[in-house]
């Protein structure tokens, strides 16, 4: 039995991070000097999630569905319009400066683009050591160089390269530098915003392996964001699928991959490349039609209905809630949810 968050009973430990009804709207402004708000981009629109200690929660969705905004909210780079985020049971949306500093030690982020996330005018030593400069009490100043070298060693870089500049490294190595920086404050939670999508496919596996190994060694919890389901499969314990600022389905890795309930999840899965050549061509092919609607003006009722082959009038008038429905083990947000195995052969 799983609760509405999709936990398998007796799974991982206590909640490390809890998100309830999180909303982030960006005002759309017009005017040169005097600006007026003419609308809202509903980037994140009522997301609830729980991340348990030591687990990896994958967050998947097409680009523009609000994944990065969610990540920024979680590390405090954006302030939520409404809703709550609590870390280890403590609400962090109403924290003062010192509380924020504590949060930042606990929740760190790995950025998507290793080429823009490292300051080109700082040495690797300065980049990885910056957390120590900002939080001087973490490591006494005499030990910082050693601490930075240890971090480089942990992420598989040569500690002697401490004086090099980012442009002297490859993309994969740069992403390791970014991971080292995120680990410096010994956080419990790492938010990885598409950490491998800017890398060559051959390098992606190495970085994912590194993240898994670090999780085992350091007991980290991950929120791992990706725009397709294939990357997440390797690393995630549970997966949340997002569409236009909302979670449409959430469950364990097996539940999502073997018995997806929501049409959108099924469509995403059918696009995942198949490793087994004998299965190729025998699968359910679902091609989504049309473009993602603008998050400034989302469709009424179910947001996916404009591209859904099951949509009826009910979908336009009544918003499906994220809940466990008949015949399912995990929560989804579709009035007509039904399992459909799209990964395995149909005949």
Partner 1 sequence: MSDTQTIEATPPTAPVKAGPEKVRGLWSDAFHDLRKRPQVLVCSAVILLLILIAAFPSLFTGKDPRDCQLERFFGAPSADAWFGYDQYGCDYFAMTIYGARPSIVVGLLATATTFILGAVIGSIAGYFGGWVDAVISRTIDVFNSIPFVLGAILILAIWRSAGDTVWPLILALTVFGWTGGARILRGSFIEARGLDYVKAAKSLGASDSRVMFRHIFPNAMAPIVSLVPLAIGAYIEAEASLSFLGLGLKPPAVTWGSMISNNVPEVLAGHPRLLIIPALFLLSATISFALLGDAVRDALDPKLK
Residue from 67, 174, 181, 233 binding partner 1 (CB under 8 A): 181
Q: Which is closer to ligand ADP, CB of 24 or CB of 174? A: 24
Q: Which residue is listed with tokens 């061509």?
A: 281
**∠134-136-139 over CA atoms, to 5°?**
120
Locate the DSSP E strands across 203-330: 221-226, 238-243, 246-252, 323-324
Binding-residue pattern over the window 48 to 67 for ligand ADP, x denoting contact by CB under 6 A? -------------x-xxxxx
Three-state DSSP class for residue 24: strand
CB of 68 to ligand ADP, least distance (A): 3
Three-state DSSP class for residue 339: coil
Question: Would you count residue 95 as binding partner 1 (CB under 8 A)?
Answer: no
> What tokens were used for 312?
């009826």
Site stretch for partner 1 (CB under 8 A), options 56-64, 125-133, 224-232, 243-251: 125-133
From first CA to last CA, the distance across the chain in angstroms is 30
3: Cβ–Cβ under 8 A, 6 or more apart, which residues? none
Q: Find the radius of gyration of the CA atoms of the chain.
A: 21
**Count of residues near partner 1 by CB under 8 A:** 55
Question: Would you count residue 144 as binding partner 1 (CB under 8 A)?
Answer: yes
Residue from 58, 178, 260, 295 binding partner 1 (CB under 8 A): 178
> What tokens were used for 117?
């996330």
Q: Which is closer to ligand ADP, CB of 115 or CB of 165? A: 115
166: Cβ–Cβ under 8 A, 6 or more apart, which residues? 118, 119, 120, 122, 124, 127, 174, 177
CB of 270 to ligand ADP, least distance (A): 20
Q: Which residue is listed with tokens 């080429």?
A: 115
d(CA 98, CA 46): 27
Question: Would you count residue 68 as binding Mg ion (CB under 5 A)?
Answer: yes
Q: In the 8-state DSSP scheme, what is residue 305? A: G
Question: Would you count residue 69 as binding Mg ion (CB under 5 A)?
Answer: no
> Of these partners, partner 1, Mg ion, ligand ADP, none, which one is at the site of residue 118 (CB under 5 to 8 Å by kind)?
partner 1
CB of 98 to ligand ADP, least distance (A): 26
Binders of ligand ADP among residues 64 to 103 (CB under 6 A) are 64-69
Question: Taking a C-beta distance cutoff of 8 angstroms, is the pair 100, 269 a contact?
Answer: no
> Of these partners, Mg ion, partner 1, ligand ADP, none, which one is at the site of residue 111 (CB under 5 to 8 Å by kind)?
partner 1
d(CA 193, CA 66): 11
Q: Which is closer to partner 1, CB of 118 or CB of 244? A: 118
For residue 17, the tally of other CB atoms under 10 A from its CB is 23
Q: Which is closer to partner 1, CB of 104 or CB of 325? A: 104
Q: Which is closer to partner 1, CB of 78 or CB of 341? A: 78
Question: Would you count residue 44 as binding partner 1 (CB under 8 A)?
Answer: no
Burial annotation 243-264 (CB, 10 A radius, 16+ → b, else e)? bbbbbbbbbbbebbbebbbbbb
Strands 331-332 and 323-324: antiparallel
Question: Would you count residue 176 as binding partner 1 (CB under 8 A)?
Answer: no
d(CA 248, CA 331): 8
Residue from 5, 56, 106, 108 binding partner 1 (CB under 8 A): 108
Question: Would you count residue 46 as binding ligand ADP (CB under 6 A)?
Answer: no
Residue from 112, 252, 265, 270 binding partner 1 (CB under 8 A): 112
Question: Would you count residue 270 as binding ligand ADP (CB under 6 A)?
Answer: no
What residues line the site for partner 1 (CB under 8 A)? 32-35, 72, 75-77, 100-101, 104-105, 108-109, 111-113, 116-123, 125-126, 129-131, 133-136, 141-146, 148-149, 158-165, 167-168, 178, 181, 185
What residues line the site for ligand ADP (CB under 6 A)? 26, 41, 43, 61, 63-69, 295
């Amino acid at each position: 039995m799983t609760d509405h968050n999709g936990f398998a009973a007796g799974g991982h430990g206590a909640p490390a991070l809890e998100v309830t009804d999180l909303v982030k709207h960006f005002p759309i402004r017009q005017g040169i000097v005097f600006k007026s708000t003419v609308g809202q981009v509903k980037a994140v629109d009522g997301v609830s999630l729980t991340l348990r200690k030591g687990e990896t929660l994958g967050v998947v969705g097409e680009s523009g569905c609000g994944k990065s905004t969610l990540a920024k909210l979680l590390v405090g780079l954006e302030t939520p319009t409404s809703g709550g985020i609590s870390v280890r049971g403590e609400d962090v949306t109403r924290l003062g400066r010192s509380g924020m500093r504590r949060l930042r030690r606990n929740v760190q982020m790995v950025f998507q683009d290793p080429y823009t996330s490292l300051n080109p005018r700082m040495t690797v030593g300065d980049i990885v050591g910056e957390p120590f400069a900002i939080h001087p009490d973490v490591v006494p100043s005499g030990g910082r160089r050693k601490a930075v070298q240890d971090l480089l060693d942990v992420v598989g870089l040569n500690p002697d390269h401490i004086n090099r500049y980012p442009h002297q490294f490859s993309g994969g190595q740069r992403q390791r530098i970014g991971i080292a920086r995120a680990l410096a404050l010994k956080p419990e939670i790492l938010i990885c915003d598409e950490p491998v999508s800017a890398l060559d496919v051959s390098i992606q596996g190495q970085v994912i392996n590194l993240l898994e190994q670090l999780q085992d060694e350091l007991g980290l919890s991950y929120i791992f964001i990706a725009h397709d389901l294939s990357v997440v499969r390797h690393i995630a314990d549970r997966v949340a699928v997002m569409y236009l600022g909302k979670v449409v389905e959430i469950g364990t890795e097996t539940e999502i991959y073997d018995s997806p309930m929501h049409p959108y999840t099924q469509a995403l899965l059918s696009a995942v490349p198949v490793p087994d050549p004998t299965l190729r061509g025998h699968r359910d092919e679902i091609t989504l039609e049309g473009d993602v609607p603008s998050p400034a003006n989302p469709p009424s009722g179910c947001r996916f209905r404009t591209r859904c082959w099951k949509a009826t009038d009910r979908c336009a008038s009544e918003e499906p809630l994220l809940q466990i429905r008949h015949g399912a083990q995990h929560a989804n947000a579709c009035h007509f949810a039904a399992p459909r195995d799209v990964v395995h052969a149909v005949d």
